Every structure is written in structure tokens, then in C-alpha cells.
Chain A
Amino acid sequence: MASALISTAEQAYIRQGVVEGIRGDGRGRADYRDYLLSVNVISHSSGSARCRVGFGTDVLVGVKAEVAMIEPGEAPNRGRVQCHVECSPSAARQFQARLTDELNNDLTQFLTRALNDFGGIDLDKLAIIPNQACWVLYIDAMILDFDGNVHDTLLIATRAALANTRIPKVEVQALEDGQQEYDVIDDPEAATPVPGWEDAPLCVTLNWTGDGYVADATHQEELCTDAKLMVCVNRHGDICSMQKSTLGTIPQATFLEMLENATKIAAQIIPTVDQRLKEEHERTAQQVSGGHKSTFMTNTFL
């Protein structure tokens, strides 16, 4: 009952549009919708960002850097990244309580995979004292509004939030007994960016509709999707993680072509996202110097 409905004729219309490369909103197969990016929207966090794609999908990401103890059995000299994604039941009817649990879990796992190990962030540099203390980056995302392509939007917002994050400086002192202790310096000027955020990947999701595939699908297009291929690519063009989801199958030859295209699309969008980020940071810096406090609303439409 909760799943969204679409008619046979609409589906056929969309599928044929994919084949011809003329989508319902006039986009070609690889085109992304216009999106809005704002940073520094949650002042309680170490970094935050909000990304709205095509006036629809709306993702808010907050990053918090906190010192944690290293427990026995954990990597002795590395920091950690801990992700959590939540779909707000208010975003869409199919996000109602309980139904979302599975989706939240999927998205959380997806983000965790995208950011750990080959996710760019230099976890070694997040270590503070071996076997004792390290930085943990808590990355929390909320899906506030929904019109398709949550995965790509999620990673754009996450990359922006990571770029916006400052980790406080820590001073480590050796004590006489060979032990070490640390001090977190409470000075925003001394705080540093997340090491390696530039290498955090973006995601390109390609939606296979049986005869062709499109990027940045709308909700309606997702309802016609047989299979999705999510490819996380960093700015060097490396594929960091990959996942095929939903029920349908993708022919092998097409799969390889999709992979190659996803990498190409990523190579186009990463610089534009970074350019947006740069502009947005300059704008925020001006606002701060102009005495305006940045709020969640900065940059909203309407």
C-alpha cells in the first residue's frame, strides 16, 4: 500500500524516453538535475552541508569530530568513521516508520562502505595516541525530502560536509612514566580540515530500465528501474566501491559499459561539485565576516 504507484502507460513512456535519450524533463541520459549546495548549516557540528537536487531530494549531513578511546582489538593507530543515515518519514509516503528501517540500514552500510578503507579520508592521521585515543568522525545524514537519486545526493552532501569540517588541534605530551596524554585545543583558528577529504568519492547511480540506462533518476524514473548500479568514484577516477541493487538483472556487456560511463560522468561532476563548494565556502566566509550567522535556510529556494 505504501509503495508509490505508476501507470503502465507512464512506465512505457519513460522507458521509451530512456531509449531515445529524451527524458520527461528534457534531460539526456547522463544529465544531472540542477542542485543546490549549502554548507555550515548546523552550528553544533564540526561540519555540515545540505544538498537539494532538482527541488526534490534534500539531504542534510552533519559531521562531528569527537575523541574516543581505542578499545583492545581495534586498529591501534587509526581513527574511525562512523556513518548513520536516516530517511525522514516526512520525506515521502513510502518512508513510513518500520518500512524505512531496511532502507536506513542499506544507506548507512552504503555510506560506510563508500567512506572507509578506500574512501579517501586518511584514518591514520586521525590517530592521537596509539592504543589509547583517536578521532572518530560521526557522519550523520538525514533524507528530508525525496524525488529520486538519494545515493548520489547523499555523497555530494557528505563530500561537502567533510570539506566543511574542522578537527580541533590536539597536543600530545609525553609523561615521565612513558605514558602520553593529550589536550584538545579549543581554538577554531588552530583546527584543521579532514585529512584526505578531497579523495572522498562521489557516487554515480545508473538506472537500468531494460533497454537503456540513465543517471540521476527522478522518483518516477526509479519506479521504472529494473536494476540500479551505484558506483563510487574519486577524483582520480578510481572506483572505490560498487553495488548493484533492486530486483532486475543487467547483461554483462552492458554492465561494463555502464561502469565505464559512470566513471566518465563522475569525472565531469566532481570538478563542478568542488567548484560549487569553493563558491559556497567563500560566500559563507563573507557572511561570517559580515556578521551574519549562517543558518539552515541559507540558500533555500522559494
Chain B
Amino acid sequence: MELLSPEGLRIDGRRANELRRITCKPSVLKNADGSAYFEQGNTKVLAAVYGPRQPQLKSQTAHDRAVIRVEFNVAPFSSSERKKRSRFEKYGNLRILEIATSIKQTFEPVIISTVYPRSEIAIYLHLLQDDGGNIQTCINAATLALIDAGIAMTDYVCACSAGYIDETPVLDLNHIEESSYETPDLTMAVMPRSEKILLLQMESRLQIGRLEDTLALAKAGCGQIHELMDKAVRDNTLDLVHKYTN
């Protein structure tokens, strides 16, 4: 299959440096303290945040900060073939746990947990539909849900993937692109203000000479996502303020 047409268009009609269409919305659930829905192309994630709240187990308490927990859940109908349940199944639960851990590590430096001693912040992520870029979409959804819950953070966390098709660096890979054997891709999460990197994952081979380009492209993608997210948060906050002030 040709992933990049001679005209420079990708399989879903995007250009090389174009993001998938993003739709997001904070405050979509009732019981959670914060929640968000994030859709990046055909990848759909629902995030729920509880806390800071009383930890369920005393053993999970830290006296000087909040403990952060992340649970990642893959909906059975998320992949295109139910029989296989999902491509996560071939790795079993370990892959799911690994993703949860890396997302937890991504947020730990950003959440100002020292202002919530002896409490717990629980982040639940549901992958409702899987079309590639799950980790980045989960991170973006979690950021919105944390902000919706009013949890103190030093910055947004924005994540995006980038890779290479033939000689061209491409942004925000979908499932077909990322599962192609020849396509190297990396996922990056940054704090957009300081541009510090919180997460960097790459599970395939990339020529070292191409790393810089790929990183720069992923960073640019994170920047665009930051703008979109900030607009959604601002609109939502202003909307509430207007209602609030009558």
C-alpha cells in the first residue's frame, strides 16, 4: 500500500505536516471531578479524573503530596476487528499497564501534587476507538480532564506523534501508517510553555540523521494541539463564568 501519494497526500488525504481533525470537550461526565472527551481523527478517548480525594488505602498515602494513579482501559469495540478484541491483547495486560505507567510518569512532574498532601488523584482513560496515536490522545484527554477538575498544574501537557514515510517526515500518524513495518514513529509529550519534554517513546528504527526533523515536527504538532486545547479550556471557562456572573 502506498502511504504517500506522488502528490504528497497521505492515505487519509492529509498533507505530511497536517494533524488529524481534533474535537475535544471538557466536562462530559457527572460523577467525576473532571472529565474530557478527546477525538483525534478516528481515535476517541474519554478521560475521567477523581480527586484530589481521600485515598482508598492508607498504604497508598504520601504525607507530603498527592499520589497519582492512572488506569488505562481499552474498550472491546475500539478496534476494527472485535474477534481479536484489540491489538493490545497480543501483548496482554502488560502493554496496558506500561501505557498507564508512562502516562503517570508524564503527568507527575506537571501536577503540583505538594499542595494536596495525603490525597489521591486518579486518572481513568478509556480508549473508545483506536485508530493510532492512542497514547498521545490519552495524554491530551487527561490534560483536559485534569484542568476540568481544577487540579493545579505548572503547564498543559500536549502530546503528538511524528514519523517518516519514505523520505518525508509526517505528523500525527494514524493506525495504518503506524502499523506499516517501514514507518518509524515516535510519540512526544511536552510542556508547551517551557518546551520541556515529558515523554518520548519510539519503538521502531529511525536513522539518527532524521531524528532532529522528526522531533521538530512532533514539537510543532504539540504546539498546534496546545492552541486547540487552550481555546477549548478558555471557551469552557468563559462560558461558565458568564453563567456564573449571570
Contacts and interface: CB of A to CB of B under 8 A. Distances in A.
Chains A and B touch each other in the complex, with CB atoms below 8 Å apart: yes
Nearest to B79: A44
A66 B83 contact: yes
Contacts of B50: 90
Contacts of B78: 42, 44
B215 interface: no
A68 B84 CA distance: 12
Given A90-B48, A145-B31, A66 B129 contact: no
Most buried by B among A64, A90, A93, A144: A90
Nearest to B73: A88
Contacts, number: 100
Contacts of A42: 44, 77-78, 128-129
Interface residues of A, number: 38
B17 to A, nearest CB: 23
B37 A297 contact: yes
Interface residues of B, number: 34
Interface string A73-93: 000000000001010111111
B contacts with A: majority SS: loop
Contacts of B117: none
Among B27, B28, B73, B77, max chain A CB count under 10 A is at: B77
Contacts of A60: 75, 128
B126 interface: yes
A195 to B, nearest CB: 19
A66 B25 CA distance: 32
B148 to A, nearest CB: 11
A140 B79 CA distance: 12
14 contacts: A42-B44, A44-B130, A62-B76, A64-B81, A89-B124, A90-B124, A90-B126, A93-B56, A138-B76, A144-B46, A145-B31, A147-B30, A300-B37, A302-B27
Interface of A: 1-2, 42-45, 48, 55-56, 58, 60, 62-64, 66, 68, 84, 86, 88-93, 96-97, 138, 140, 142, 144-147, 295-297, 300, 302
